[in-house]
Amino acid sequence: MNAPLGWAGRPVPILNAENGRPLITREGMETHDHSIMTVPLRAIRKPGDPAVEALQDAETGPPEPTEYFAYGSNMATARLRQRIPSAKPLGVATLSGHELRFHKRSKDGSGKCNAFATDDTESAVVGVIFCFDPSERRELDAAGGTGKGYDAAMVTVVNDKGRRRKVLTYIASNDAIDESLRPYSWYKDHVLAGAQEHGLPQDYLDEHIAMVETVEDPDVARASKERATYSA
């Protein structure tokens, strides 16, 4: 005949499925609470085992974004992959209620792109959605200018299949906007290259990118390096 199990009657921490907090029950105790389970202590602990610690609340947050909406120079895949090699284009998308402007103040003294929020629901910024490895988020933040006049933001765009997507993008801070600025010609070339690569609507390209006035970068070496991005 088998020896009795020898219920010790000591408390065992059980996880409450409703809110994740540890509850204590005793072996052999009956309960009507469906979130408490009664188990034989001998099955999980032996004499001399260390004390059982209470389960801690699990800290969870929103999942890391894996899709990025580029609307400026980062639309050019070659340029973006210099910064985050995992970037893969998923298609064209539209951010409504915003307008493309080249008025974000850069440390080089020129204007960079911004998806400027407007009160006009008819205005829109057209760009490209890229998927990326979340492990490269820090590099993407650096490329997007976080802390240098841009703020990371989650926005809702509509892709080329008419589906809404929640994506990461970067918007210029209000104190980093200067309407008197003009982009360097090489920067505008990056934006044009990305727009043409991904087939943005020609009327959008003509009205919001091609017609923008530029200035020449006084740093000739920098301009040459930027244009070499697309060299074979």
Residues 232, 226: Cα–Cα separation, whole Å: 14
69 is in an annotated binding site: yes
**DSSP conformation letters of the chain:** -PPP------EEEEE-TTT--EEEEETT-----TT-----HHHH--TTPPPPPPPPPPP--PPPP-EEEE-SGGGSHHHHHHH-TT-EEEEEEEEETEEEEEEEE-TTSSEEEEEEE-S-TT-EEEEEEEE--GGGHHHHHHHHTBTTTEEEEEEEEEETTS-EEEEEEEEE-GGGB-TT---BHHHHHHHHHHHHHTT--HHHHIIIIIT---B--S-HHHHHHHHGGG--
Which one, of 96, 100, 165, 162, lies nearest residue 130 by Cα? 165
71 is in an annotated binding site: yes
Which one, of 157, 223, 158, lies nearest residue 188 by Cα? 223
Which residue's structure tokens are 């820090």? 138
68 is in an annotated binding site: yes
116 is in an annotated binding site: no
Residue positions forming the annotated binding site for substrate: 68-73, 187
- Residues annotated within the binding site are 68-73, 187
